[in-house]
Amino acid sequence: MILSGRKFAKTVRKDLAEEISQIGGRPPGLAVIIVGDNPASQVYVSMKKKACEKTGLISRTVHLEESVSEDELLREIENLNQDSSIDGILCQLPLPEHISDETIASSILPSKDVDGFHPVNVGKLWRGEEGLFPCTPTGIIALLKYSEIQIDGVNAVIVGRSNIVGKPMAALLLREHATVTIAHSHTPDLPGLCRQADILIAAVGKPHFINSEFVKPGSTLIDVGITRTSEGLRGDADFEQVKDICGAITPVPGGVGPLTIAFLLSNTVKAWNRNR
């Protein structure tokens, strides 16, 4: 089974558009801050803006020079924290080296932190409380449920331990009662460990890394990796090699990628519902 994130993301966005128009009044507002002229960041920001417009959210882009000081950026964030027309704020990564990701993540109000990177939301995630949680792993859980793939009681292995994907993915799978293992570059016998996974999440960023040696027959493989190559976008899986071994697999492109934006919008609508 090919798990089409693209198709599911469309359904999610349609449901959000309906919810926004039914509730009416002030629409949800998302502010996206971009620092500098990184071409990939510009593409992501414009995709987010388009998705907002199509779904009925108001989006505001704040474009700052690469040389902006951390204090100046913090002032911009404080203005947005105080702005009652803005429900969600995100700062597009990567930031220039002179600006600390952690300082910026901690300066966004937890109630507007639609990326789910603020320590308060990270704490809530691990404590099993309500909050705003990172979009990619939230979208993956929703896709698994939508595709009726069992999470409760299964073995889940995540390759990658970043704060954006690997760690929050583990916390969300744990909430759904999976038995979770996080693997990384120091993990011995990675293929052997991955072959025990009923759900394998690959968030490495190395094309063709996950081959037939890593995959248990009939398991679900969620390929989070996105690498731009001369032949186009590539995931972490050697798709042709593993697709007939897996029971279900997300393609790249069209798998996890579209979920991230859909669940950014979903987080913004969630924040709007609370902030209104």
> Segment near ligand NAP (CB under 6 A), from 50-58, 119-127, 169-177, 201-209?
201-209
Determine if 127 is a binding residue for ligand NAP (CB under 6 A). no
Min dist. Cβ of residue 209 to ligand NAP (A): 7
Instruction: Rule CB under 6 A: choose which of 92, 107, 136, 138 binds ligand NAP.
Output: 136
> Segment near ligand NAP (CB under 6 A), from 69-77, 78-86, 180-188, 264-272?
180-188
Would you say 150 or 227 has its CB closer to ligand NAP? 227
54 among known catalytic residues = no
Task: Give just the sign of the alpha carbon dihedral 85, 98, 94, 160.
Answer: negative
Determine if 91 is a binding residue for ligand NAP (CB under 6 A). no
Joined together, the tokens standing for residue 259 give 């979920």
92 among known catalytic residues = yes
> In the chain, at which residue ranges do the beta strands (DSSP E only) sit?
29-35, 58-64, 88-91, 155-159, 179-183, 199-202, 220-223, 227-229, 232-234, 248-249
What gap in Å lies between CA 134 and CA 124, rounded to an integer?
Answer: 12
Q: 10 Å Cβ neighbour count for 155?
A: 16
The radius of gyration computed from the CA coordinates of the chain, to the nearest angstrom, equals 19
Contact letters for ligand NAP, residues 160-179 (x by CB under 6 A): xxx-xxx-------------
What gap in Å lies between CA 116 and CA 197, rounded to an integer?
Answer: 27
Determine if 6 is a binding residue for ligand NAP (CB under 6 A). no
Distances (CA, A) of 117 to 66, 89, 121: 22, 11, 7
> Segment near ligand NAP (CB under 6 A), from 50-58, 70-78, 99-107, 200-208?
200-208
Joined together, the tokens standing for residue 2 give 């090919």
Determine which one of 92, 167, 223, 238 is catalytic.
92
Binding footprint of ligand NAP on the chain (CB under 6 A): 136, 159-162, 164-166, 183-187, 190, 203-206, 224-227, 256-257, 260
